[in-house]
């Protein structure tokens, strides 16, 4: 970046405003949050103005610019009114007489502005869902009995959504304004300081020479980067810009290379220690510490990545690919010598979150501070003051989509609370499933995927958890298992066709067909659709139960995900026929339910398939040996 470019950055209003927001979040994170309403409102208004600046109206010429600046001015007027005249104390004082006309006008304007900024940065799907829920609040008397309610007036809806803590200012925005943004800033600092490149290089140095070479490296590096930034599509375009061309270079087809990156980046959102925004929201909604969520999620996440690793390895074996040559790979010793310091912020983050059980806010703040210190003191690629400021601005920009999603999700929650839709939806799930847990899980999974199409993971999780978790808990599922079940399907919605955000992002980098890339990513990530059923029926996988039960569950589940990889890819030690593939998949399905009987039958199917594979391999080697001997004799 030249001095001229740096000067342009300094005078750029959006850049300055984003930096101010970063300092606001860091200051309140370090010295104590403001009152709930004030902290969340300042956080939201910063984000709304920045979205209007960074994503202006591109059509309409001068008229479009006038509209855009008018919306920014309107946002500032709403912010001034809400901060001056709608404090908790003033709202409490007006509770007996009701909201004023000004309150209703400003409140409804705020909701419309939230929908507009959400449309700009998050697209139409989430905005349409928000508007549909608002419509549901008015249309209650005209709906079928299972969804009907008495109906609410315009004033009642605005009061619920804007002027209570069970609406716009609820849990999603509380989590976004307190620590999610700090973790996003941490990820941006990691990227800008060279830490991201260090972990990618380390992954390639460790795995690049294997047959699956760049693909396996992509899985490892994307898993790590994905857990930090928590946004699958963003991770795809950052790590994928490096990994996808290398995969194509060694022989992977473009859609396969894109699919590997999409599946790996998506899995980062379910991998501790960070897991992205949705996991923090989950901890808040459950009323538990984040460390409990992270520990419970560890084994299922490892099962997912083991399966994806096996999938890409067997893909390479089937295609007869080879790893990268030694000359084209970084050397582990050199990578560690240049970047070993970057391990300390990650270790500190894990230590503070899991061992010390610090708040996520403090943990993220300390880890970010250490990362910045390392970036400044390192001789190689040392960060300048402008680099430090740019990393903070990048973190704020990356967080804007989460803020908008949380705000709109809060509007949805407000309508769910006032209409009692959560209870109605729970009854609907129970009724349609006939009280059968498996059918209820299927219905909930389908709901998650449908709602998640085109939505950020955090918004998809919040909406579905609000609606679907109560039904699953009522049918006997552990609350942690129910929330993780919903989280998993909210996550995999980004690679599930027809609207697969991560798959489409990967196809853009790989220059491949978006639908074909997404379908292949679904195949590589198929275990993410199965693992939730595993811990639903075997809660030992999320560390609920005795040590012996946990060990047995882990062993059988490892066998199960391996069987899925063998069956889907049609390969273990050699090409698998129909009988072996069916046996492998049957074994995997039977191992889902961690009961002695089903495990025994599943192991029997697995043993049959393995014996057939070994026999086929033996015959193949024998035939090759005979052919070689005949060639020598001839």
**Domain definitions of the chain by residue range:** 3-173, 545-634
Residue 461: name the closest of 235, 247, 279 by CA.
Answer: 279
DSSP state of 145: T
Q: Give the pLDDT band of residue 123 (cuts 50, 70, 90).
A: confident
Mean pLDDT within 569-582? 89
Give the list of residues 6+ apart from residue 620 with CB closer than 8 angstroms, or none.
574
pLDDT of residue 2: 53
Residue in this structure with the two tokens 């300042």, named with its chain if needed: 42
Q: Give the pLDDT band of residue 7 (cuts 50, 70, 90).
A: very low
Beta bridge partners of 571: 575
pLDDT of residue 10: 43
- Name the least confident of 104-108, 540-544, 627-631: 627-631
- Name the least confident of 138-142, 227-231, 355-359, 602-606: 227-231
pLDDT of residue 239: 81
Q: Give, rounded to a whole angstrom, the gap between the first and last alpha carbons of the chain.
A: 68
Lookup: tokens for 281: 């929201």
Give the list of residues 6+ apart from residue 22 with CB closer than 8 angstroms, or none.
185, 392, 393, 395, 396
pLDDT in tens, 316-357: 888 888 777 777 778 888 889 888 999 999 899 888 887 887
Task: Give the Cα separation of 278 and 232 in Å (integer).
Answer: 12
Q: Give the pLDDT band of residue 11 (cuts 50, 70, 90).
A: very low
Residue 528 vs residues 213, 308, 591: alpha-carbon distances, Å? 23, 9, 15
Task: Flag whether pLDDT at 634 surpasses 70.
Answer: no
Neighbouring CB atoms inside 10 A of 427's CB total 14
Task: Give the Cα separation of 397 and 390 in Å (integer).
Answer: 10
Lookup: tokens for 194: 């060279």
Residue in this structure with the two tokens 């929650």, named with its chain if needed: 413
- Please say whether the beta carbons of 402 and 277 come within 8 A: yes
User: Which residue blocks in 140-272 are alpha helix, DSSP H?
Assistant: 154-162, 171-175, 181-193, 195-207, 213-229, 232-250, 254-267
Q: At what angle do helices 437-452 and 421-433 cross, to 10 degrees?
A: 130
Residue in this structure with the two tokens 């509007």, named with its chain if needed: 411
Task: Give the Cα separation of 591 and 166 in Å (integer).
Answer: 41
Residue 318: name the closest of 382, 274, 405, 256 by CA.
Answer: 256
Task: Flag whether pLDDT at 425 surpasses 60.
Answer: yes
- Please say whether the beta carbons of 11 and 5 come within 8 A: no
What's the mean per-residue pLDDT of the chain?
87
Cα-trace Rg, the chain: 26
- Please say whether the beta carbons of 474 and 444 come within 8 A: no
Neighbouring CB atoms inside 10 A of 58's CB total 8
Task: Give the Cα separation of 445 and 374 in Å (integer).
Answer: 43
Beta bridge partners of 575: 571
Mean pLDDT within 583-607? 84
Lookup: tokens for 190: 């990691």
Task: Give the Cα separation of 574 and 581 in Å (integer).
Answer: 12
Task: Give the Cα separation of 589 and 598 in Å (integer).
Answer: 9
- Please say whether the beta carbons of 394 and 231 come within 8 A: no
Task: Give the Cα separation of 214 and 204 in Å (integer).
Answer: 7
Give the list of residues 6+ apart from residue 209 with CB closer than 8 angstroms, or none.
323, 324, 326, 329
- Please say whether the beta carbons of 258 and 240 come within 8 A: yes
Q: Residue 295, class by beta-carbon neighbours within 10 Å (0-12 exposed, 13-18 middle, 19+ buried)?
A: middle
Residue 209: name the closest of 256, 238, 246, 242 by CA.
Answer: 246
Q: Which residues of 387-406 are buried (b: 16+ CB within 10 A; e: fewer)?
A: bebbbbbbbbbbbbbbbbbb
pLDDT in tens, 91-121: 766 666 678 888 999 999 999 999 999 999 8
Q: At what angle do helices 254-267 and 290-319 cross, to 10 degrees?
A: 160
- Please say whether the beta carbons of 367 and 186 come within 8 A: yes
pLDDT in tens, 484-529: 999 999 889 888 887 788 888 889 889 998 889 999 999 999 999 9
Task: Flag whether pLDDT at 595 surpasses 80.
Answer: no
Task: Give the Cα separation of 116 and 52 in Å (integer).
Answer: 9
Residue 349 vs residues 60, 270, 342, 365, 538: alpha-carbon distances, Å? 47, 17, 12, 9, 30
What's the chain's length in residues? 634
Residue in this structure with the two tokens 């399966």, named with its chain if needed: 307
pLDDT in tens, 284-313: 889 888 889 989 999 999 999 999 999 988
Residue 559: name the closest of 598, 529, 602, 597 by CA.
Answer: 602
Task: Flag whether pLDDT at 437 surpasses 80.
Answer: yes
């Amino acid at each position: 970046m030249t001095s001229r470019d740096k000067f342009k950055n300094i005078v750029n209003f959006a850049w300055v405003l984003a930096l101010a927001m970063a300092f606001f979040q860091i200051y309140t994170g370090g010295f104590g949050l403001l009152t709930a309403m004030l902290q969340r409102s300042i956080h939201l208004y910063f984000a709304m103005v920045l979205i209007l600046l960074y994503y202006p109206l591109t059509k309409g010429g001068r008229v479009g610019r006038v509209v855009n600046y008018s919306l920014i001015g309107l946002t500032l007027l709403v912010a001034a009114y809400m901060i001056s005249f709608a404090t908790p104390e003033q709202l409490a004082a007006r509770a007996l007489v009701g909201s004023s006309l000004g309150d209703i006008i400003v409140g409804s304007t705020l909701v419309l502005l939230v929908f507009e900024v959400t449309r700009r940065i998050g697209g139409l799907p989430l905005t349409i869902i928000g508007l549909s829920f608002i419509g549901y609040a008015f249309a209650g008397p005209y709906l079928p009995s299972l969804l009907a309610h008495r109906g609410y007036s315009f004033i009642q809806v605005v009061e619920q959504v804007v002027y209570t803590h069970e609406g716009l200012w609820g849990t999603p925005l509380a989590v976004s304004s307190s620590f999610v943004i700090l973790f996003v800033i941490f990820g941006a600092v990691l990227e800008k300081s060279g830490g991201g490149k260090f972990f990618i290089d380390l992954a390639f140095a460790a795995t690049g020479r294997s047959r699956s070479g760049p693909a396996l490296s992509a899985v490892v590096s994307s898993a790590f980067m994905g857990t930090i930034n928590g946004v699958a599509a963003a991770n795809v375009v950052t790590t994928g810009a490096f990994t996808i061309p290398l995969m194509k270079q060694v022989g992977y087809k473009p859609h396969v290379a894109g699919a590997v990156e999409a599946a790996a980046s998506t899995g980062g959102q379910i991998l501790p220690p960070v897991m992205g925004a949705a996991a923090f929201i989950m901890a808040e909604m459950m009323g538990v510490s984040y460390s409990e969520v992270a520990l419970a999620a560890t084994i299922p996440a490892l099962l997912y990545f083991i399966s994806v690793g096996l999938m890409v390895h067997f893909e390479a074996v089937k295609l007869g690919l080879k790893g990268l040559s030694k000359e084209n790979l970084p050397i582990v010793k050199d990578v560690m010598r240049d970047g070993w310091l970057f391990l300390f912020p990650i270790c500190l983050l894990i230590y503070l979150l899991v061992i010390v059980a610090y708040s996520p806010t403090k943990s993220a703040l300390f880890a970010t501070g250490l990362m910045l210190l390392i970036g400044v003191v390192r001789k190689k690629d040392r960060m300048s003051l402008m680099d430090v400021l740019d990393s903070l601005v990048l973190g704020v920009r990356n967080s804007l989509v989460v803020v908008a999603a949380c705000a709109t999700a809060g509007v949805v929650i407000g309508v769910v609370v006032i209409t009692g839709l959560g209870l109605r939806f729970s009854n609907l799930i129970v009724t349609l499933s006939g009280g059968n847990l498996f059918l209820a899980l299927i219905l909930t999974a389908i709901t998650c995927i449908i709602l998640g199409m085109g939505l950020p993971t955090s918004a998809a999780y919040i909406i579905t958890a609000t609606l679907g978790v109560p039904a699953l808990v009522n049918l006997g599922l552990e609350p942690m298992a129910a929330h993780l079940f919903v989280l998993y399907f909210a996550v995999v919605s980004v690679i599930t066709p027809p609207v697969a955000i991560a798959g489409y992002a990967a196809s853009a980098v790989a220059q491949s067909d978006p639908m074909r890339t997404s379908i292949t990513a679904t195949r590589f990530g198929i275990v993410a659709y199965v693992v939730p059923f595993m811990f639903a029926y075997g809660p030992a996988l999320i560390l609920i139960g005795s040590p012996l039960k946990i060990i047995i569950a882990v062993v059988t589940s490892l066998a199960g995900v391996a069987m899925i990889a063998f069956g889907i890819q049609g390969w273990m030690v050699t090409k698998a026929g129909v009988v072996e593939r069916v046996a492998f998949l049957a074994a995997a399905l039977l191992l889902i339910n961690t009961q002695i009987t089903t495990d025994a039958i599943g192991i029997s199917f697995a043993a049959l398939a393995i014996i057939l594979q070994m026999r086929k391999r033996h015959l193949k080697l024998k035939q090759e040996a005979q052919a070689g001997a005949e060639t020598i004799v001839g």
